[in-house]
């Protein structure tokens, strides 16, 4: 069996770009997302290479996650890497009638990701090992006033993955956290300012390189975000709230 990767949220954005990159690298692909028609188009685009299995999945429907990942694994004949990528990013602020948006963000970005990771760990234990990857964000390093729920969701995901690493290493499962900066995808095209923007293709290439090296955690790109996020963490709260606009 060739190497195989399962990617959630693979119909657009980073997930789609990762699917294309892993196809180029000769991986068999298990792709899932809410919009099956987009996955079907992507499958046609990638046809002619390794196997591509697709399935409809809304990770907010937590009980369906293990079943879908199991189905994809069986179609591929096994799996080496599971990438928990599905996520949303929307603006919402307390006291403005947008709590439902917050609930959706946490439901998908945190609980949906945890359900994916849990199902992936069960599959990979049976495979004798592998790798679980979480697509977090530089927004998780500090609370950003423009996207408070999104920042909180990515901080939660990063912390959760850091906490499970030691346990999963005992089962020969590597845990990698990827923290993208601004990647040119639909999740951030509404923003007027996108500093240090890189294309989705370049972002996927950098991420795949890091995943293959089984890094614990990294920003994407490393420069300048590794420096920027370090500085962000060092700024005292009494100053952070003044510049965090």
Residues involved in catalysis = 150
Gap between the Cα atoms of 179 and 139, Å rounded: 8
Cis bond upstream, residue 221 (ω within 30): yes
Gap between the Cα atoms of 170 and 124, Å rounded: 12
Gap between the Cα atoms of 102 and 95, Å rounded: 12
Q: Which helix (H) or strand (E) holds 18?
A: helix 13-24
Which residue from 63, 214, 56 is spatially nearest to 131, judged by alpha carbons?
214
In this structure, the number of other CB atoms found within 10 A of the CB of residue 227 comes to: 11
Which residue from 103, 136, 115 is spatially nearest to 65, judged by alpha carbons?
115
Which residue from 59, 58, 169, 174 is spatially nearest to 115, judged by alpha carbons?
59
Cβ-based neighbours of 213, under 8 Å, separated by 6 or more:
none
């Amino acid at each position: 069996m060739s190497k195989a990767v399962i990617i959630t949220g693979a119909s657009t954005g980073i997930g789609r770009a990762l699917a294309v990159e892993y196809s180029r690298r000769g991986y068999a692909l298990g792709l899932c997302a809410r919009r099956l028609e987009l996955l079907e188009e992507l499958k046609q685009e990638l046809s002619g290479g390794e196997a591509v299995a697709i399935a409809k999945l809304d990770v907010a429907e937590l009980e369906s996650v293990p079943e879908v990942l199991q189905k994809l694994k069986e179609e591929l004949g096994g799996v080496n890497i599971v990438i928990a990528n599905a996520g949303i990013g929307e603006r919402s602020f307390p006291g403005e009638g947008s709590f439902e948006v917050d609930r959706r963000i946490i439901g998908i970005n945190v609980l949906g990701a945890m359900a994916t990771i849990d199902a992936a760990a069960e599959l990979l234990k049976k495979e004798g090992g592998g790798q679980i990857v979480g697509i977090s964000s530089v927004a998780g390093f500090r609370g950003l006033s423009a996207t408070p729920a999104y920042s909180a969701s990515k901080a939660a995901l990063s912390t959760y993955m850091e906490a499970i690493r030691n346990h999963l290493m005992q089962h020969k499962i590597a845990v990698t956290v990827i923290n993208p900066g601004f990647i040119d995808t639909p999740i951030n095209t509404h923003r007027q300012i996108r500093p240090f923007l890189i294309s989705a293709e370049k972002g996927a290439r950098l991420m795949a390189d890091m995943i293959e090296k089984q890094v614990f955690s990294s920003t994407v790109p490393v420069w300048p975000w590794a420096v920027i996020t370090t500085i962000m963490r060092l700024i005292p709260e009494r100053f952070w709230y003044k510049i965090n606009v």
